């Protein structure tokens, strides 16, 4: 078997159909995923299927097995370290209650959205045995705050590249971005 065939057989394409990962991934984006690289780190974006579930989902890994995690209100603490966020801006006329932030999770920087009036959650787990996943659109995401920890066996692939149609960007060229 040729290397190109092996690579093709271990690549999945995933279309984003919700707003739970905005602003990183938007509805309509196409994500290229690899089944090869399932060495999971905090900050990775994972496509998975819940136990007994028929739908696939995509979320960001914020804690790995062995971590201590606390998510209280809108504050994330991993292994006693406050995961700070930096204000970017209010998100505009259609999302009047949403605010954009940047956040860095153990060296991996990304953007998140939160609402002024969003739901407050309280989760605290010590020495977790699974993966704690969150959507980047924190107040509009069903994630580990709702369905709990996810075992690695539920992971289908790791997101590597996003393709965004040109109509969503100011450029006339399609946008490719490594994740």
Which run of H or E residues covers position 9? Answer: helix 3-9
Query: Do residues 14 and 35 make contact, with C-beta atoms less than 8 angstroms apart?
Result: no
Is 51 a catalytic site residue? no
State the Cα–Cα distance between residues 139 and 12, nearest whole angstrom. 28
Is 152 a catalytic site residue? no
User: Which of 155, 133, 159 has its CA nearest to residue 144?
Assistant: 133
- Active-site entry in 4, 41, 59, 97: 59
Query: Cα separations (Å) of 83 from 59, 74, 103, 166?
Result: 17, 11, 7, 33
- Active-site entry in 20, 141, 144, 154: 20
Catalytic positions, please? 20, 59
């Amino acid at each position: 078997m040729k290397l190109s065939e092996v690579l093709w057989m271990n690549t999945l394409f995933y279309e984003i159909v919700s707003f739970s990962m905005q602003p990183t991934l938007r509805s309509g984006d196409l994500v290229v995923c690899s089944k090869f690289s399932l060495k999971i780190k905090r900050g990775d974006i994972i496509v998975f299927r819940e136990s007994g579930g028929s739908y696939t989902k995509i979320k960001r890994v914020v804690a790995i097995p062995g971590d201590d995690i606390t998510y209280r209100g809108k504050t994330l603490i991993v292994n006693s370290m406050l995961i700070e966020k930096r204000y970017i801006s209010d998100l505009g006329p259609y999302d009047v209650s949403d605010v954009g932030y940047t956040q860095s999770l153990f060296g991996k920087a990304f953007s998140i959205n939160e609402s002024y009036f969003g739901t407050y959650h309280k989760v605290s787990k010590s020495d977790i045995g699974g993966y704690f996943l969150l959507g980047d659109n924190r107040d509009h995401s069903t994630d580990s705050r709702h369905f709990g920890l996810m075992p690695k066996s539920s992971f289908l692939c790791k997101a590597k590249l996003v393709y965004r149609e040109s109509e969503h960007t100011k450029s006339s060229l399609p946008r490719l971005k490594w994740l």
